[in-house]
Structure 1
Amino acid sequence: MSKPEKIVAVKGMNDILPQDAPMWELFENTAETILKSYGYQKIVTPIVEDTSLFARAIGAVTDIVEKEMYSFEDSMNGDKLTLRPEGTAGAVRAVIEHNLVYEGPKRLWYKGPMFRHERPQRGRYRQFFQIGAEAVGFSGPDIDAELIMLCRRLWDDLGLQNVRLELNSIGNADERLRHRADLIAYLEQHEDILDAEAKRRLHSNPLRILDTKNPAMQEMVNAAPKLLDYLGEESQAHLDGLKKILDRNAVQYTVNPRLVRGLDYYNRTVFEWVTDALGSQGTICAGGRYDPLIEQFGGKPTPAVGFAMGIERIIELMKGLGETQAPSQCDVYMVHQGEAAQAQAFIMAERLRDAGLDVVLHCATPAGSGSFKSQMKKADGSGAAFAVIIGEDEMANDQAAVKAMRGDAGEQQQANVPFDGLVDYVVDQIIGGGEHDCDDENCNEHGHHRH
């Protein structure tokens, strides 16, 4: 019988393995805590949406819609569906469908996988994860500043360095039209310098030519008409107001006239957090104002601003901090030998979990249950603070051996503790003893989980 063919993941769609999961959890927990502290509420939208949602939001002539979307026809009913390539469109659709701003503006956040058929490379995958925030119903530069400062707090809490803020204003539709006409005329005068991609975008999306990475085009693009020079009084006042708030709060930034968006629904503020530590994929967070989008989707005119950050790229930066020590899987590792000891170990493990501790119970493998020595190696590798050991001697004396696994060898004390006092002893050693006094909303009747 031939060996079955090995199945591997779809190209560009990666697994998050157990050794990486704690770093993802650290990032997600930190981000969610900060978002909550600013008053943002979680929204969860479907991974699959009607294709027309993205065609209308992103634009039919963009690279995303033309080349990158995973779209298909539902064989059951013929609906044209798409795996979401970004999060804003679905969030806005939900805001309109459920009339979320009826009672006033909303601060929303989301996280989850997005899908684009791009050439996979470091920091850019075909399934990638984002956390994003959308502030809907707010019109002033103050909310733009809040989102930017929220991001800064996240970088600080994660310990990320060398992340810088670039800022620009792309004005309103009328201002962009005037700039667009002059920009096309300028680019046509230098058509011999344009690469194939720029020539394709010349009349459909000329703004995107300004953020080209082609070295041969840099000097020409730097001399192109700048959208900042076309801003009217209101757009300029909005930009000045944003800069004033950032200056007062010591937020460093660079105004980058070449920072643009190729989509018509963006207006005024655009910003990006960028780093030089990830090569060409240097943008880890991009945001901007999109006041026209909700009306474009059929809702009432409603101002909005938001951002999205790529989690994979931020994880890459976190790995660069040098914190490579494997985090603990558990508080307690249960070691046992013999049938009776195994039964008692199950009981004690459940009682410790009831007290809010993380417990790994040693279980048999095809090689067998393992000796005490091999089980203790597993306990040490788990990162547990304590090993609870139950064997024939412990069963005979109605007690367990509790061994401290961390610290120097001389500090790794071992104590014999009666079964009926084991939970209190271990909790006292790990948490610090005393009566449990906590108003944490996640606390339950069995005990307080520390994580």
Structure 2
Amino acid sequence: MGQKIQSVKGMNDLLPTEQKDFKLTSAYWQAFENKIQNWTRRFDYKQIRTPIVEQTSLFVRSIGEETDVVGKEMYTFADSNDTLSLTLRPEGTASCLRAVVEHNLLHEAPRKLWYMGAMFRRERPQKGRYRQFHQVGIEALGFADPDIDAEMVAMCADLWRELGILQYLTLEINSLGNREERAAHRAALVAYLTEFEDKLDDDSKRRLHTNPLRVLDTKNPDLQEICNNAPRLIDYLGEDSKKHYQTFKDLLTGLEIQFVENPRLVRGLDYYNHTVFEWTTDKLGAQATVCGGGRYDGLIEELGGKAAPSIGFAMGIERLLLLVHEHGSLQVADFPDVFIMQQGDGATLQAMKYAKILRENGFDVAQFSGSTKLKNQFKRADQSGAQFALIIAESELANQEVTLKDLRGERGQITIPAHELISKLNEWKA
């Protein structure tokens, strides 16, 4: 017997049953996917699907060469002819915008798009953080006014309510201003942090000269006082940026969406400007952020397209579903409506005919395969989770009848003419 080959650490199989260290099942995942499709349809967002592999230069240009994602976390490899560097996508926005620019999707009107799929980052796996993870992303392209910023947040709140987790999430918001305002703040921040360079940890020292805003996002408790007293970006905002941010806040207040202003919220990618936001929780340990996003008004132009104001967000599916699994509610329809069992000559073929008719009439059907006593088949029917059992034995075949049993309710067991099967099941299921 050959040696077993295991999956790569931090990349999980999605099975029909719960695993010891990964509680999400394929049925749970599918129920969430169905909810996302309905949710995005309600807000008039259209789906886009992009390749998992992109040119490395796409992420270097969009995310930023000095970010941790590009510098340490991407899965990058040479194409077979060694002339092209390829990367497994670490996030979805860059791929989405690459497709928008390549296919000129903004030539007539703004676009509201969504996507769902696998992302890859070379990180230390832990609860809620994996090397292959999945995201739902929402992108609104070509919209300049702050009402679309508020719509993004309202979309999230709508989904959280449906999933029963709104009370476990906190909305944090901030404004990063425009490029010139961020540059002025960056200069002041670097000057301030340089005074404390001997007290910074190695990670913060590296970021001081590459991405100083990320120093403010440190989790090191020894640096909290330094970061709390650092120059605030909001103090460098001009009138237009302040107006955009204030209108955004007023809209949230009018929609009765509670929020916390966090002047240290910067997000981890270079392309953000103006509005940024995160939904965080204290129910998942260190992995507090369930969803985050913001404006990236200059990114489409950076990728070769005509300048267009844009905003988007992404949620980690694994992290979100862990929160829903433990604290929320998601209805999972993973059981057949009818379990068909048979016994006797000719019963198998007749059972298959009934199964075909039932499926054509909208019922989910499981059929027993093989031959064994009805007693054992009843055990399988009960284990299947089916609501009803359809029994076909010698007497039913002889009399052109069927026997129905309510496995979960109080209707008991009845024998009826075969032609009444669909109407009786519809009556019972109603």
State the TM-score, normalized to the length of structure 2: 0.95
Q: Secondary structure at the match of 1:39?
A: coil
Q: Is the Cα contact below 8 Å between 1:162 and 1:275 reproduced in 2? A: yes
CA shift for structure 1 position 326 = 7.5
CA contact (8 A) 1:330 1:360 kept: yes
1:6 maps to a residue whose letter is K
| Cα shift at 1:337 | 1.8
Shift of 1:370: 3.3
The equivalent of 1:448 in structure 2 is: none
- Paired residues of 2:31 and 2:332 also in contact (CA < 8 A): no
Alpha-carbon shift at residue 412 of structure 1 (Å): 4.1
Q: What's 1:57 paired with?
A: 62
- Equivalent-residue separation in structure 2 for 1:355 and 1:275 (angstroms): 44
Query: In the alignment, which residue of structure 2 is the partner of 1:102?
Result: 107
1:380 aligned residue (365, 382, 385): 382
| Residue in structure 2 matched with residue 363 of structure 1 by the alignment | 369
127-136 vs 34-43, which moves further: 34-43
Aligned to 1:349: 355
Contact 2:27 2:334 (C-alpha < 8 Å) held by counterparts: no
1:424 aligns to 2:420 (yes or no): no
Task: Give, as a single letter, the amino acid of the residue that structure 1 aligns with 2:9.
Answer: K
RMSD: 1.6
Q: What letter is aligned with 2:224? A: Q
Name the residue aligned to 2:154: 149
| Partner residue in 1 for 2:15 | 17
Verify: 1:67 aligned to 2:72, yes or no. Answer: yes
Partner SS, residue 370 of structure 1: coil
Does structure 1 retain, via aligned residues, the 8 Å contact 2:32–2:330?
no
| 1:15-64 alpha-carbon deviations (Å, 9 max, x no partner) | 11113223222322222212111111111111111111111111122211
Q: Is the partner of 2:224 in helix, strand or coil?
A: helix
Q: d(CA) in 1 for partners of 2:273 and 2:143?
A: 14
In structure 2, list runs of 5 or more residues that go unmatched.
18-24
| Other structure's SS at 2:177 match | coil
Please give the alpha-carbon distance, in whole angstroms, between the structure 2 residues aligned to 1:50 and 1:271: 28
Q: CA deviation at 1:69?
A: 1.0
Q: Alpha-carbon deviation of 1:309?
A: 0.2
What secondary structure does 2:231 align onto?
coil
Pick from 2, 5, 8 the counterpart of residue 3 of structure 2. Answer: 5
1:66 to 1:338, Cα distance in 2 relative to 1, 3 A: farther
Once structures 1 and 2 are overlaid, which stretch shifts more, 306-315 or 67-76?
67-76
Q: Conserved in 1, the CA contact under 8 Å of 2:31 and 2:331?
A: no
Give yes or no for the alignment of 1:120 onto 2:103.
no
Q: 1:47 to 1:396 in 2, by over 3 A?
A: same
Letter of the structure 2 residue corresponding to residue 49 of structure 1: E
2:180 and 2:77 mapped to 1: Cα distance? Answer: 36
Deviations 1:151-191 (A, max 9, x none): 00000011113111000001111111111111111111111
Whole-angstrom distance in 2 between the partners of 1:80 and 1:214: 35
- Provide the C-alpha distance between the structure 1 equivalents of 2:26 and 2:310, rounded to a whole number of angstroms: 33
Distance 1:25 1:292 in 2: 35
Aligned residue runs from structure 1 range 52-201, under 5 A: 52-75=57-80, 78-160=83-165, 161-201=167-207
**2:393 alignment partner AA:** G
What secondary structure does 2:327 align onto? coil
Inter-partner Cα distance in structure 2 for 1:339 and 1:57: 67
What pairs with 1:284-323 in structure 2 (closer than 5 Å)? 284-321=290-327
CA distance 1:4–1:412, change in 2 (3 Å): farther
Determine helix, strand or coil for the equivalent of 2:425.
Answer: helix
Q: Secondary structure of the residue that 1:388 maps to in structure 2?
A: strand
SS of match in other structure, 1:279: coil
Q: 1:198 to 1:394 in 2, by over 3 A?
A: same
- Kindly provide the CA deviation profile for residues 217-256 of structure 1, in whole angstroms up to 9, marking residues without a partner as x: 1111111111011111111111001001001111100000
2:219 matched residue in structure 1: 213
Would the aligned equivalents of 1:385 and 1:406 in 2 still touch at CA under 8 Å?
Answer: yes
**Bigger mean CA offset, 396-405 vs 302-311:** 396-405
Give the aligned residue type for 2:44.
G
Distance 1:429 1:168 in 2: 54
Greater relative contact order structure (CA < 8 Å, 6+ sep): 2
Question: What's the counterpart of residue 251 of structure 1?
Answer: 257
Check whether the contact 1:27–1:158 (CA below 8 A) recurs between aligned residues: no
Q: Secondary structure, in 3 states, of the residue corresponding to 2:197?
A: coil
**Is the Cα contact below 8 Å between 1:49 and 1:81 reproduced in 2?**
yes
Decide whether the 8 Å contact of 1:207 with 1:260 is kept in 2: yes
- Equivalents in 2 of 1:133, 1:41: separation in Å? 9
- The alignment's TM-score, normalised by the length of structure 1, stands at 0.90
Deviation string, structure 1 residues 402-442 (Cα, Å, up to 9, x no partner): 101113xxx14111122233223223322x3xxxxxxxxxx
Partner Cα distance (1:257, 1:80) in 2: 37
Cα separation, 1, equivalents of 2:63 and 2:308 = 18
Structure 2 Cα separation of the partners of residues 156 and 147 of structure 1: 15
Amino acid at match of 1:12: G
- CA 1:111–1:83 in 2, change beyond 3 Å: closer, same or farther? same
- Cα pair 1:172 1:267 within 8 Å, conserved: yes
Q: Distance in 1 between matches of 2:209 and 2:339?
A: 65
**Which residues of structure 1 form unaligned runs of 5+?**
433-451
Alpha-carbon separation, structure 1, partners of 2:418 and 2:198: 83
Contact in 2 for aligned 1:355/1:427 (Cα 8 Å)? no
Q: Distance in 2 between matches of 1:105 and 1:324?
A: 33
372, 388, 391: which one pairs with 1:389?
391
Residue aligning to 2:270:
264
Deviation at 1:318, TM superposition (A): 1.1
Answering whether residue 281 of structure 2 is matched by residue 279 of structure 1, we say: no
Instruction: Give 1:363 shift.
Output: 1.5
Deviation readout 1:367-413 (Å, 9 max, x if unpaired): xx332122111111222110001122222222221101113xxx141
Number of residue pairs the alignment of both structures matches: 422
